[in-house]
Amino acid sequence: DLTYQPVLSTKVGISVNLNPKDHLKGVQDFFLNDKGEIIKERFLNQDINALANDDNEPIDAITNRKLNVSIQKED
């Protein structure tokens, strides 16, 4: 009989959203704090592939190598 037992176990904490159109959140809800100011660290650490356009289609970073972001604040 030959049996195998792993000698090292590693816990991997990961989650995968299998429905990319589920749980969409507006950019203003994610990148702005309660005072309406941009959360710089969150913005700079954002994966562009997780963003979507107005039609809820993912923005492909390979196709869209340059992304211009404009922010308009209501008075």
Residue 32 near residue 38, CB atoms below 8 Å: yes
Tokens of 10: 């590693």
- Chain segment 17-71, per-residue pLDDT in tens: 666 666 667 777 888 889 888 888 988 888 877 777 778 788 777 887 787 777 6
Backbone angles phi, psi at 72, to 5 degrees: -115, 125
Output the CA–CA distances (angstroms, integers) from residue 16 to 22, 48, 50, 55, 66, in the order listed: 12, 16, 12, 22, 26
Sorted by where each begins, the domain ranges of the chain are 20-67
Cβ partners under 8 Å of residue 39, min gap 6: 31, 32, 33
- Is the whole model's pTM more than 0.75, yes or no? no
